Amino acid sequence: MRLIIALLFVAGTVCASAQIKVNSPYQKKDETYIPDGDESGGNDGSATPVPAPGPSTSTYGQEANVQAVIESLFTAMYNANSYQAKSLFLPEGRIISKDTDGSVRVVTSEQFSTMLGNLSRGRYREEIKDIEIKIDDHLASAWVNYELYVDGKYDHCGVDAFQLHHDGTSWKILQIADTRRDDCTPMGEAGVINNLLDNWHLAASNANAADYFDDLDKDATYLGTDPSENWDKQSFYQFAKPFFDKGSAWDFKAKERDVTISEDGNTAWFNELLDTWMGPCRGSGVLSRDQTGIWKIKQYNLAVLVPNDKIQEYIRLIK
């Protein structure tokens, strides 16, 4: 991972022994997500660490928990949170990366977390394109296709190969090895937005409140299908929280989507055709990029679609 090499140079140390869902406004505390205003994180380790999620049952076959650990590492990297990053590794954890001169470098989790704390928040953003997870008993492996953005600009792509071990309480990272390439076609910003929206809908389907509300900007507006559903982020969270708490939010799947990006590259708008429990719906909205290059949803509008030949029946119904 070129990111690892960059971290080494930033720290001024080269070790030759032997990468949003991001900046979440809803921090996890005792399984409760707290709205904006309760910040946690930082490089000094003073905040409560985010533990690696463990399985919710007695079996280890929990792909979502493994993925949560991986995504937590990328979040820690983005936030330059050395304490959180260290908590995700086993003590003997390591990262193996190939330098530009062909040499292989091994960095311990301790060295990595220390170097991470010397970075500025938001410089590195790693976007997951897709992930394949396999689990057997206490061992998990993950094949993660990624794109790395540095200061908001695409840098390179590759694969992160994770190995994780379950210690009886939680999944921990044992080892990461990577490839990095310049010859692949990047998703581009439209691809990043498509990926964000797909994962946003998936977070609702999985009742993952942290990821779902993280993608909404602080001043976001959500317009529902009822005339009264004109929510700011806080009121939308209060409405949605009971559904997320009971583990059954809503399952929307995009069948079609059009994304347009402004000339300055900082604003995007979209519309999508959705398959929902209400039948076909249309979602539309606006996103903007913050100063670190992360896309956030500013507005989302959900509308039920009524065929033209049913409109008179619909009018009679609502009257």
Quote the tokens at residue 302: 């959900």
Predicted local distance difference test score (pLDDT) of residue 182: 75
> Quick count: other Cβ atoms within 10 Å of Cβ 40?
17
Dig out the tokens for 178 from the structure. 């990577």
Query: In this predicted structure, what is the pLDDT of residue 186?
Result: 65
Residues 299, 215: Cα–Cα separation, whole Å:
11
What is the rounded average pLDDT of the residues 217-228? Answer: 94
For the segment 124-146, the average pLDDT, to the nearest whole number, is 89
User: Can you tell me the mean pLDDT for 43-53?
Assistant: 40
How many CA atoms within 13 Å lie on the side-chain side of 112? 31
Q: Which residues contact 292 (CB under 8 A, 6 or more apart)?
A: 121, 122, 123, 125, 152
Domains, in order of start, for the chain: 2-178 (3.10.450.50), 197-308 (3.10.450.50)
- With a cut of 80, say whether residue 21 has pLDDT above it: no
- What is the pLDDT confidence band of residue 17, given thresholds at 50, 70 and 90? very low
Is 70 exceeded by the pLDDT of residue 49? no
> By the 8 A CB rule, do 293 and 126 touch?
no
What share of the chain in percent tops pLDDT 70? 78
What pLDDT band is residue 284 in, cutting at 50, 70 and 90? very high
- Given a contact cutoff of 8 angstroms between Cβ atoms, the answer to whether 305 and 279 are in contact is yes
